[in-house]
Amino acid sequence: MLLDVNDIQKILPHRYPFLLIDGIEEMERWKRIVGIKNVTINESYFQGHFPGKPIMPGVLIIESMAQTGGLLLLQEVPDREKKLLYFVAIDNARFRRPVVPGDQLRLEMNVLAWRNGFCKLEGRATVQGEVAAEATLMCKMVDLETEQAPAAEPVGKAR
């Protein structure tokens, strides 16, 4: 293991229960990364998704892929504690098999493009060599200090 969960937390801002990668097995700067997510029955989402038939939500598989790719990118940023990566698009997402407790997700992410704070990655999540999910992800790096959440629009009266 190149990086364990403690090393990952030094780079990514995510924390339990939303840190969705447990380790990094391979990494090639600016090009590719392979992360691991151990899926356990202790995950809170299994209480409701689905009782008696636990399946990891596809959106969380995509998020674990994004965190893996984000770790690769943020590692190269000198002032990363002042940056965030925001999703801007998810294309060609496909889910091929359910992910269940006891599975180990292997998250393979490849950088397709990286310029002007925008990045495009393609990735796949596999379980024992079988593709569970694949997608193309796009993100934008923003300054944490200057980025503001959009102000809520006042809600008008119901008619």
**Is residue 14 annotated as a catalytic residue, yes or no?**
no
The token pair at 15 is 């924390």
Strand partners, 87: 139
The single residue of 7, 13, 25, 49 carrying the catalytic annotation is 49
Task: Give dist(CA 133, CA 142) in Å, integer.
Answer: 27
Task: Give dist(CA 65, CA 73) in Å, integer.
Answer: 13
Task: Give dist(CA 4, CA 23) in Å, integer.
Answer: 5
- The set of residues, in sequence order, having a beta carbon less than 8 Å from that of 66 and lying 6+ positions away, is 85, 87, 137, 139
Please state whether 145 falls in left (phi above 0), alpha (psi between -120 and 50) or beta.
alpha
Q: Return the active site residues.
A: 49
